[in-house]
A and B are shown apart, each in its own frame.
Chain A
Amino acid sequence: MPSRNPPPSHSSPVPVAGPVGLPDSLVGTAMDIDGSHTPEQVIAGLRATGEGEDLVQLLTPEGQRVSHPQFDLEISPAELQSLYRDMVLVRRADREAKALQRQGELGLWAPLLGQEAAQIGAGRAMAPQDMAFPSYREHGVAWCRGVDPTEIFGIFRGIDQGSWDPIGTGFQLYTIVIPNQCLHATGYAMGQRLDGKIGDAQNAEATICFFGDGATSQGDVHEGFVWAAVYDAPVVFFCQNNQWAISASLDRQTRVPLYQRARGYGFPGIRVDGNDVLATLAVTRWALRECRTGNGPILIEACTYRMDAHTTSDDYTRYQVAGELEEWKLKDPLERVRVHLVREGLAESEFFDGLAAEADELAVRLRNYCISMPAPGPERIFSKVYAEPTPTIDAERDDYLAYHASFTDVGGVS
């Protein structure tokens, strides 16, 4: 088959478009008249964009440590246990949140399940002075930045819209409109450069921006890449490719592996096994260091899988391909570390027992806190719309609170 593009040097099965403008996986095969793909085509597409020789991996799904010429990592048993602990605890918090939603205590939840390694690896790679710009599923990164899960729960319970201190934690509030935060991260990183925080100094800074595979189709990712490139902004674009944008599989967003897009913008793109916490830690640590010393920006594509629905309002059985979840369960980010710790004798059973107890305690604390969170009163509606208050909103607030109080004054309705 003739091709406009020379084949890439690596063996990624579906890297470039065929001559008729379709991914190779679709050329010459049946596509439904309405444009939807057969399960085989979807599976093939996911494989093509989630595997390949260029995938940085340090711990195989079977728990085997492997080396990498560029991104090897020295890690102590204690550090490995600590990474595992974080993943176990954020998974437990995530499962508790889902249960709380099912019981009506949270209005919605965006599950993290399956993406723990990508987020803990990236979050733990950050230095205290670095800044993260999350989307709305970065519960694991939040954990690494010291943002308590109760503060995340507050958003999904409808108590607030993000209560933590974004500057103090180095973790911006969640951004729900996909992917507005790519530009905020870029602008913030431009500010780090303007402030002279790039270089070899101990306090040199970098920014990391989190978004998903679906976000890459949005213009703000493109503009973020362009701006970051032309201003040499110290920003790591960390794309968690979890294979699905609600119900749209990756082949609806791209015909090339996402990390390869970086080349077109003039900066490096690296693909990492997003279910391997060691690989994401090593690659993100390297990328942030590059940015701090002035070699940014960098794109990381962390190949992972959303093992639950998009949110608790979503029904993934309507689109998930048969066998796909089982296939990814074999690549579970926690299990491979557990197997490695056990097999190599790096942790005793007391460690696992203690961690299980700690996870249960966390869940109880989160549950108790969640169900006792006080709902804000109506005055919250009018609070802090502006830094400099306006007479319009002050008058609306006073009128409404007087109206509201008129019900309780007569003692009938409260």
Chain B
Amino acid sequence: MAGTDVPQTITLAKGLNQGLRAAMEADRKVLVMGEDVGRLGGVFRITDGLQKDFGEQRVFDTPLGESGIIGTAVGLAVRGYRPVCEIQFDGFVFPGFDQIVSQLAKLHYRSQGKLPMPVVVRIPHGGGIGAVEHHSESPESYFAHTPGLKVVACSNPVDAYWMIQQAIACDDPVIFFEPKRRYWDKAPLDLATPPLPLFRSRVLRTGTTATVVTYGPTVRTVLDAAIVAEQDGHTLEVIDLRTLSPLDLVPVFDSVRRTGRLICVSEAPSEVSLTSEVAARVSQECFYSLAAPVLRVTGFDTPYPPAKCEEDYLPDLDRVLDAVDRVLAY
């Protein structure tokens, strides 16, 4: 890894950028492709400077078409490359959805291992940036529901730096969600601390009152809520899922067996979602430990609303604390 080049304190965006750089240095088969990723460095500047340093052969602007981006990445993977595709916004992934679910997800299985698909599809997801329609969505459940894909969501700069490298090194297709409203969050990066494996959830804060499971952009929301809850005498155990497929729920089961209470938090609509899945699995594994039903704090089961409504739509500190009160009322 290009250790000396990495600044001490980095933003999440810089973590991704430096992680991509390290992955490209480590393996010349890694390609970065997508709309505006070259000269511009991406609309969020995640690929800033990569084309200058690695050349137009390895970092290239594509025509405007998501099916084309994913479909040609599949062909490049058959050829032995490791493409990293940028989808500009969550709501724009759907023209590429067919290639993702019909081909990218299935070729390893169809070929019984003869055709690995080491392709990473990076998708900025979630709301909170005051954007127009199609720029604030949380489509992760579609992908987590698709066998053959692996799905991860980073929540902080340090994870961003390591997880993008691990995703690129993975021989399976990885849908990589980036919390766009947290791109400018900062954290110190200590390269001496070894990273957690990619497909592991992590306990970020220990507590005894209730377990709160979340991922992506709402991790910070929940951590903020945990600080306030402590002033009320409640200690929340906060778990960042990090991997959405496969799920790593053993730490969640362990936690719920101690706390007896679980709250799941996500920006996505609640019905048939990752929070549904966590609730179902916890009810199966921790039935006799539960002192209350599993509660969920999520976006609503509506399309993403106009931006002026998003403060009400997105789970915030107060809604998390309200759920803590409700889960304790049983």
Contact = CB atoms under 8 A, between A and B. Distances in A.
A98 B172 CA distance: 37
B176 to A, nearest CB: 16
B28 to A, nearest CB: 10
Interface in B61-84: 62-63, 65, 67-68, 70-81
Contacts of A223: 63, 65, 67-68, 71
Contacts of B150: 386, 390
A165 B111 CA distance: 8
B108 A387 contact: yes
A32 to B, nearest CB: 33
Contacts of B71: 180, 182-184, 186-187, 220, 223-224
A230 B107 CA distance: 26
Interface in A344-360: none
A195 interface: yes
Interface residues of A, number: 43
Given A183-B99, A184-B75, A166 B199 contact: no
Interface string B144-175: 00011010000000000000000000111000
B113 A180 contact: no
B246 interface: yes
Contact of B72 (A161, A167, A190, A385): A190
Contacts of A186: 68, 71-72, 75
Contacts of B80: 191
Nearest to A189: B75
Interface string A166-195: 110000110101001011111111111011
Interface string B227-252: 00000000000000000001100000
Given A224-B68, A387-B171, A187 B73 contact: yes
B146 to A, nearest CB: 11
A163 interface: yes
Nearest to A183: B71
B284 to A, nearest CB: 12
A408 to B, nearest CB: 26
A226 B72 CA distance: 11
Contacts of A177: 98, 102-103
A188 B111 contact: no
A196 to B, nearest CB: 10
Interface of B: 57, 62-63, 65, 67-68, 70-81, 95, 98-99, 102-103, 107-116, 118, 147-148, 150, 170-172, 199, 246-247
18 contacts: A177-B102, A180-B98, A180-B102, A183-B71, A183-B74, A183-B99, A186-B75, A187-B72, A187-B76, A190-B76, A191-B75, A191-B78, A219-B67, A384-B109, A387-B171, A387-B172, A392-B246, A393-B246
